[in-house]
Amino acid sequence: AYEILSGLVGSEMCIRDSLNTSAAKVEKAMEGLLPRSEGIEAPLLEAIRYSALGGGKRLRSFMALQSARLFKVEELYALRVAAAVEFMHSYSLIHDDLPAMDNSDTRRGKPSCHIKFGEATAILAGDALQALAFATLVWEETHPESGIRCRLDNALASASGGAGMVAGQMMDLVGETTSLSFDQITRLQNLKTGEMFSFSARAGAILSGAPSTEEDNLRKYAERFGLAFQIADDLLDLEGDPLEVGKPTGQDENANKATFVSVLGADRARNKAEILIEEAVIMLDKWDEEGQSLKDLARHILKRTN
């Protein structure tokens, strides 16, 4: 029992170190891609950098980098895709925090973009980050083959747009005034959260031109990961410390949001997340040791406190 416990503790420490190392690399890549200006539009670019840099768990970019390692993709290419993922994610958080959406004053332990810079500038900063995500993927430095760059761009558009993350956000708003079934909540979270994880997990396969069966395994891993991640997020909103979480808690209940926790209760939701994670891990069995970091990441999200 002591050896098993030591192994679990060791894996948790290892994944935390790996996440920190990955985040530093991705942050450097993002820094190099973000525009600078001293013109009258400078406040916009300050808001972009404020929101994109210096914070966040960088789980999606870590997933993209580890996916690329599975297929021995050059790290330079993977880092640019990882940066694009974080630009898209940052845009979504800026807009998610707006008064018309979740109306959150705090993000990542500091004032939300619209609190710091005003609503209009925040909207524009989000718009610019979304555009930068797509631009990053189509630049030749991201991959020498134009067909692969187009596939990346199309996959990100599908994951983030009106049939993906944005559709999930719309369902989330509807859920504030309409009772949603368990299946509807599952679809909501698959779209709002899962699709971007799916893109990140499949990035390495797309970059390498791997067979569709391998890409499908990673998609199934990400679907289960995304649902478990959202349950963990819902539980943090219910039980977490706002100072540790880095944003206000109790938001879901205050807004009458439809969540797994509101439907299942905390204990059943937590058990559901544990089952989903083990199902996700099974999807990586064909990669043995090479997939260990993604397996550790999946188990890590159930232990996170922010």
Residue from 118, 116, 96 nearest 233 by CA: 96
**Residue 197 confidence (pLDDT) above 60:** yes
β-sheet bridge partners, residue 111: 106
The stretch 218-242 carries a mean pLDDT of 91
Report how far residue 152's alpha carbon sits from residue 44's, in angstroms, rounded to the nearest whole number: 27
Report how far residue 106's alpha carbon sits from residue 246's, in angstroms, rounded to the nearest whole number: 7
Contacts of 216 (CB under 8 A, 6+ apart): none
**Residue 294 confidence (pLDDT) above 90:** yes
106-107 and 110-111 strand pairing: antiparallel
Residue with tokens 């039980």: 239
Residue 124 half-sphere exposure, CB side, CA atoms within 13 Å? 12
Report how far residue 149's alpha carbon sits from residue 134's, in angstroms, rounded to the nearest whole number: 10
| pLDDT in the model for residue 7 | 52
> How would you write 168-189 as a 3-class SS string?
HHHHHHHCCCCCCCHHHHHHHH
**Residue 105 confidence (pLDDT) above 80:** yes
| pLDDT in the model for residue 246 | 65
The stretch 226-251 carries a mean pLDDT of 81
**Residue 215 confidence (pLDDT) above 60:** yes
Taking the CA atoms of the chain, what radius of gyration do you get in angstroms?
19
**Residue 9 confidence (pLDDT) above 80:** no
**Residue 252 confidence (pLDDT) above 80:** no
Residue 64 half-sphere exposure, CB side, CA atoms within 13 Å? 30
| Structure-block tokens of residue 246 | 């880095």
Calculate the CA dihedral of residues 107, 299, 230, 90 and round it to 10 degrees: 40
Q: Which three-class secondary structure state does DSSP give residue 151?
A: helix
| pLDDT in the model for residue 245 | 67
Report how far residue 171's alpha carbon sits from residue 232's, in angstroms, rounded to the nearest whole number: 19
What number of other Cβ atoms are within 10 A of residue 186's Cβ?
17
Residue from 187, 80, 85 nearest 130 by CA: 85
The stretch 16-37 carries a mean pLDDT of 95
Report how far residue 144's alpha carbon sits from residue 151's, in angstroms, rounded to the nearest whole number: 13
| pLDDT in the model for residue 276 | 97
What confidence category does residue 2 fall into, taking pLDDT thresholds of 50, 70 and 90? very low
**Residue 3 confidence (pLDDT) above 80:** no
Report how far residue 49's alpha carbon sits from residue 190's, in angstroms, rounded to the nearest whole number: 29
The tens digit of pLDDT for each residue in 45-85 reads 999 999 999 888 899 999 999 999 999 999 999 999 999 99
With beta carbons less than 8 A apart as the criterion, state whether 303 and 270 touch: no
| Structure-block tokens of residue 76 | 């330079």
Amino acid identity of residue 102, one-letter, is D
Please give the helix or strand (H or E) that residue 107 lies within, else none: strand 106-107
pTM of the model: 0.91
Report how far residue 80's alpha carbon sits from residue 86's, in angstroms, rounded to the nearest whole number: 10
